[in-house]
Amino acid sequence: MDRVALHGLRARGHHGVFEHEREEGQTFVVDVDMGVDTRPAAEGDDLARTVHYGIVAEEIVSVVSGEPVDLIETLAQRIADTCLAHAAVAEVEVVVHKPEAPITVPFDDVTITIKRSRA
C-alpha cells in the first residue's frame, strides 16, 4: 500500500470538556497518513484515480473548525471517517495534536493516534 500524507494541518476548534475550551477555542494540529494504491493514477497520470490531498486537507480543516466535541478521540474518528469517504483511501492513520490542552504542568503536546481501514 502506498502512502499519501498530510502533516501539520492547523485549524481553530472549540473541542474539549471544559467550558472555556468551548468558548475560547484553541489550535489543533492534524497529521494523516492515508493508504492508497497509487498505481492506477500513475499509469494514466490521472488525478481521478487517486486521492486529491488538497480536498482532503480542506475537509479536515472543516471538521476541526466545525461542530465541537468533548474528546479528541471523537475528533480523530470524524477525521478518519472523512478520509475513508474517498474511494481511493483504503486505510488511514490520524494523529490529532492538542498543544494547548488544559494541563497544569509543563508539556509540549497531547496527541491521540488512531488507525482505521475499510471493513
Show which residues are catalytic. 98
- Residue 104 to residue 9: CA distance in whole angstroms: 26
Which grid cell sits at 99? 498543544
